[in-house]
């Protein structure tokens, strides 16, 4: 029993790290992703090409590799800069998830019929007003499902941070298994399951909230 409490406490400690990565990544990557989606829709071809190439590289390489690059390679390239482990992880996660979110936003924005923009235009609205007052709300409704998918993936991806020795929950469990205690590794599954369960409920609540209109 004492051992169970001890393990639980350590895993909770580790899961705190996962939660930090999760929360900060979400808060930063959603607005950044929106910005990137504007870039990939820009009428200025060089910018569009640049953004698309970056998104291709980010989505085309493993997140684990990106963690290594940010933590180990950046200091080699730029002598002075050295991130602490958590900052390196956050940077890699934010960049990675911004790329994915940007594509979801792009799809959502492009799915809005032209007529909605034109209706705003003939009513004398500014571009920014059309985007924030007309288009964005409709985009949010359309992308709730793909975003929830990505958010749930993020919960589990946070455990990748252990490759740069962040003491997150799987790392903690591995420490126990190194001492011959295997079950904490499987116990971690419960943490993820419960967290993702809560998120699933939250997203179906949001979807219901947005169900008051169609189209």
Q: Toward other proteins, which CB reaches closer, 186 or 212? A: 212
CA distance 158 to 154: 6
Cα 192 to Cα 159: distance, rounded to the nearest angstrom = 10
- Which residue in the block uniquely carries the two structure tokens 């990106």? 66
Q: How far is the CB of 61 from other proteins (least distance, A)?
A: 38
Q: Based on CB atoms, which residue is closest to other proteins, 113 or 197?
A: 113
**Tokens, residue 61:** 């390489």
Find the binder of other proteins among 44, 115, 186, 208 (CB under 8 A). 115
Smallest distance, other proteins to C-beta of residue 136, A: 10
The residue within the footprint of other proteins, chosen from 50, 63, 125, 199 (CB under 8 A), is 125
Contact region with other proteins (CB under 8 A), list: 51-59, 114-122, 151-159, 173-181:
114-122
Measured from the CB atom, the residue of 129 and 153 that comes closer to other proteins is: 129
DSSP designation for 212: G
> Residues touching other proteins: how many (CB under 8 A)?
23
Choice between 116 and 148, CB closer to other proteins? 116
Q: How far is the CB of 88 from other proteins (least distance, A)?
A: 41
Please report the sign of the dihedral spanned by the C-alpha atoms of residue 137, residue 143, residue 148, residue 151: negative
Show contacts with other proteins in window 146-205 (CB under 8 A).
none
Beta carbons of 143 and 207 less than 8 angstroms apart = no
Contact status: 43 vs other proteins (CB under 8 A): no
Helical axes 183-209 vs 2-40, angle rounded to 10°: 40
Q: At what angle do helices 2-40 and 85-110 cross, to 10 degrees?
A: 50
**Binder among 27, 57, 76, 123 for other proteins (CB under 8 A):** 123
Query: Taking Cα atoms as reference points, which of 82, 101, 87, 93 lies closest to residue 36?
Result: 101
């Amino acid at each position: 029993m004492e051992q169970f409490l001890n393990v639980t406490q350590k895993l909770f400690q580790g899961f705190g790290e996962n939660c930090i990565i999760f929360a900060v990544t979400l808060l930063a990557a959603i607005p950044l992703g929106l910005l990137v989606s504007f870039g990939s829709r820009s009428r200025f071809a060089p910018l569009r090409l640049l953004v698309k190439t970056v998104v291709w590289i980010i989505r085309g390489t493993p997140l684990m590799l990106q963690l290594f690059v940010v933590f180990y390679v950046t200091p080699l390239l730029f002598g002075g800069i050295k991130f602490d482990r958590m900052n390196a992880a956050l940077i890699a996660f934010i960049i990675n998830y911004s790329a994915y979110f940007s594509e979801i936003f792009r799809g959502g924005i492009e799915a809005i019929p032209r007529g909605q923009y034109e209706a705003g235009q003939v009513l004398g609205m500014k571009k920014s007003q059309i985007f924030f007052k007309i288009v964005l709300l409709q985009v949010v409704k359309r992308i709730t499902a793909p975003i929830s998918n990505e958010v749930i993936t993020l919960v589990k991806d946070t455990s990748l941070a252990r490759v740069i020795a962040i003491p997150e929950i799987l790392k903690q469990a591995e420490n126990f298994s190194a001492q011959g205690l295997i079950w904490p590794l499987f116990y971690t599954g419960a943490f993820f399951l419960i967290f993702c369960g809560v998120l699933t409920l939250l997203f179906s609540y949001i979807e219901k909230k947005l169900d008051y209109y169609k189209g």
